[in-house]
């Protein structure tokens, strides 16, 4: 399924420019949309999901005009927003059946079969009769995916799905997304670099409403091979001095000391060692470069 976004711009009434002439091509696989909070990811997802109109630009989905053929697009779209509300006192099976009716699945036998299959697929079958208010964060997200899969969509959008999940629930959710991504196009919007590295054969990095990089994570990482250097510093003054001289990609505290990663074509000096590049380096390098510009 081909999703083409061309020249998309959006400014809200409060003056915030969320999208700035943004263009992207999303193929028929898991596509990662990576960026910091406030980058414009949710604005882009809401626009693709037909929930808001841009000021300018176009979006086409397999020949359909997303901005004018909203009803047709919604029939092939599944959406899990960042904030997903449910009726807390309803059971999962009743809520999913209710949402299936709203999706147009009115034949009782067909609806029952679909709802039960989705509860099995999302590993919620054993708790299908429990009220949604008793679900953990990860269970609620898996229910969110179940409702997004109603009516067999061809495109699924998930916005910050693993934020706030514990490691075990995050792994369960990522495994579920991975299995879904083999059959339909999934856009995964997140600020968590590892989610994109583990799942997505293609990605884009955006910040301040603009695309900074688009391509394959593996190729972006390979482009930095031999140019990432690490060093442990003993003081804040040493960190500030190096930040003034070199292109520091990131800094982490390890046992009270700063471990820095620096981008340089060759060794930046004594004490530095070459380290393998990673997607986090790609991300921080592009975001910091855009912030400087």
157-216: pLDDT as tens digits: 999 888 888 888 888 888 888 888 887 889 999 989 999 998 999 999 999 999 999 999
Contacts of 266 (CB under 8 A, 6+ apart): none
pLDDT tens, 224-264?
A: 999 999 999 988 888 899 989 999 999 988 888 889 999 99
Contact yes or no for 217/32 (Cβ under 8 A): yes
Over residues 72-92, mean pLDDT: 87
3-215 under CATH 2.70.98.10, yes or no: no
Alpha carbons 84 and 105: distance in angstroms, whole number: 21
Alpha carbons 168 and 196: distance in angstroms, whole number: 17
Start-end of CATH 3.40.50.300 domains in the chain: 3-215
What sign for the dihedral angle of Cα 54, 60, 61, 66?
Answer: positive
Neighbours of 150 (CB within 10 A): 21
pTM over 0.75: yes
């Amino acid at each position: 399924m081909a999703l083409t976004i061309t020249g998309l711009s959006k400014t809200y009434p409060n003056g915030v420019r969320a999208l700035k002439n943004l263009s992207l091509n999303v193929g028929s696989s898991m596509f990662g949309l990576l960026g910091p909070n406030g980058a414009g990811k949710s604005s882009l997802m809401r626009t693709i999901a037909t929930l808001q109109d841009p000021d300018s630009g176009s979006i086409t989905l397999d020949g359909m005009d997303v901005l004018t053929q909203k009803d047709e697009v919604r029939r092939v779209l599944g959406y899990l927003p960042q904030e997903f509300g449910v009726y807390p006192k309803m059971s999962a099976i009743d809520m999913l059946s209710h949402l299936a009716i709203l999706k147009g699945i009115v034949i009782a036998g067909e609806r029952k079969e679909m709802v039960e299959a989705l509860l099995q697929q999302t590993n919620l079958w054993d708790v299908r009769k429990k009220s949604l208010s008793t679900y953990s964060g990860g269970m609620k997200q898996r229910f969110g995916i179940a409702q997004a899969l109603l009516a067999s969509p061809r495109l699924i959008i998930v916005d910050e799905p693993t934020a706030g999940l514990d490691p075990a629930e995050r792994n369960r959710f990522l495994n579920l997304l991975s299995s879904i991504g083999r059959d339909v196009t999934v856009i995964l919007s997140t600020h968590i670099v590892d989610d994109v590295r583990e799942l997505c054969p293609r990605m884009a990095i955006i910040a301040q409403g603009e695309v900074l990089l688009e391509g394959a994570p593996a190729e972006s990482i390979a482009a930095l091979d031999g140019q990432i250097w690490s060093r442990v510093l003993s003081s804040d003054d040493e960190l500030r001095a190096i930040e003034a001289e070199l292109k520091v990609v990131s800094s982490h505290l390890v046992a009270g000391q700063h471990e820095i990663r620096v981008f340089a074509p060759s060794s930046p000096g004594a004490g530095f060692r070459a380290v393998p590049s990673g997607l986090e380096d790609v991300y921080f390098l592009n975001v910091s470069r855009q912030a400087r510009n």
